[in-house]
Amino acid sequence: MPEDRSDLARATTHDSRRIEQEIRGLAGVLSCRVVVNKEGEILEIHVVSSSERHPKQIIRDIETVLLASLGIRVDHKKISVAQIPTHRHGDGKPTAPLASAGVPRIRFIALHNTWTPEGGEVEVVLESGGFQGTGRASFAASTGPLRAVVEAALLAVGRFVREGAFQYGAVQGGSLGGHDAVFVQVEHFLSGRSVPLLGSALVLRERSLSALLATLDAVNRTLGRLEPMEGVEWVAGPEPGPS
């Protein structure tokens, strides 16, 4: 029985170039790269776009044009969109991004824990300056998700920051004034030196959420002094559920 190309989302090297050409013709798309494996299956689609259209619209357009023009059905979770903020003159023409006074404060959007018998995966979605960034990290059942939450949050934070890097230091539960709390230590590497950052959050719901909020408490203190990224990657995926 012949293979159903639309369901398998397979492409030859020649097809991958055709796919990139089709995607580049979509409104708002500035550049595109398609990654396939040796069997020709689409693994990743990376797109850079302007900020004139929401990433979800661009991803839906990609799914539609590939299915309608090439008969290829691609999982939307394989598509990532990095947006470059654009501003306009009075005549409506795009200009270069405006200068920024640092990275806007990062806020929590969603936290999703997926459990398996061996452990699981954490997905963190953050927002800064109107753009979203996603980070993912795995954990073992024996250790639990708290460290993975911090690591995923720092990966998402890294999508907003051009300078330096944030790395996991430690996470620990404790008590403060008779209330359960989570404390997080993050290492910020910048200009050849490491600066420890501390954050904390009371446990009002889930410890995983408190670990995420404590991470943001640590990093948000430094953002006003850092240069933001010109664009932020937006990765498609299922709508995050409760932690």
Instruction: Provide the CATH number for the domain around residue 84.
Output: 3.30.300
Residues in the chain: 243
The residue among 47, 69, 95 that closes a domain is 95
What is the count of structural domains for the chain? 2
Q: What's the pLDDT tens digit per position in 175-223?
A: 888 899 999 999 988 777 788 999 999 998 889 999 999 999 999 888 7
Q: What is the C-alpha separation between 147 and 60, in angstroms, rounded?
A: 34
pLDDT at residue number 11: 55
86's tokens: 């654009």
Angle at 124 between CA 123 and CA 128, to 5 degrees: 150
Give burial (CB, 10 Å; 0-12/13-18/19+) of 8: middle
Mean pLDDT of 104-122: 88
**What percentage of the chain reaches a pLDDT higher than 70?**
77
pLDDT at residue number 86: 55
Q: Taking the model in full, what pTM does it have?
A: 0.55
One domain for residues 214 and 126: yes
Mean pLDDT of 142-169: 87
- The three-state secondary structure class of 50 is strand
On whether residue 182 sits in a domain, the answer given is yes
Q: What is the C-alpha separation between 200 and 80, in angstroms, rounded?
A: 32
- Whether the per-residue pLDDT at 69 is higher than 70: the answer is yes
For residue 11, the enclosing domain spans 5-95
One domain for residues 111 and 88: no
The residue among 65, 95, 125 that closes a domain is 95
The residue among 95, 120, 154 that closes a domain is 95
Residue pair 227/160 in contact by the 8 Å Cβ criterion? no
One domain for residues 89 and 187: no
